[in-house]
Amino acid sequence: MPDPAPQITAALFDFGGVILSSPFDAFADYEREHGLPDGFIRGLNATNPDDNAWAKMERNDVTIPEFCALFEAEARAAGGELDAAAVLARLRGQIRPAMVEAVRRCKAHLKTACLTNNFVAPDASHPEGRMDPESFDGVMDLFDVVVESSKAGCRKPDPRFYEIACEELGIEPAEAVFLDDLGINLKPAKAMGMTTIKVVDPDEAVAELERVVGFPLR
Residues 90-135: tens digit of each pLDDT: 887 789 999 999 999 999 999 999 999 998 766 544 444 444 434 5
Mean pLDDT score of the chain: 90
d(CA 157, CA 183): 10
pTM, rounded to two decimals: 0.86
Identity of the amino acid at 96: R
3 state DSSP class of 103: helix
| 163 and 84 within one domain | no
Q: Which residues form the domain of 191?
A: 10-21+94-213
d(CA 182, CA 65): 27
d(CA 56, CA 153): 10
CATH (domain of 177) = 3.40.50.1000
3 state DSSP class of 139: helix
Residues whose CB falls within 8 Å of the CB of residue 44, separated by 6 or more in sequence, listed in order: 52, 53, 54, 71, 74, 75, 78
Per-residue pLDDT tens for 130-152?
444 345 658 999 999 999 999 99
| 105 and 36 within one domain | no
The total number of structural domains that make up the chain: 2
| 197 and 133 within one domain | yes
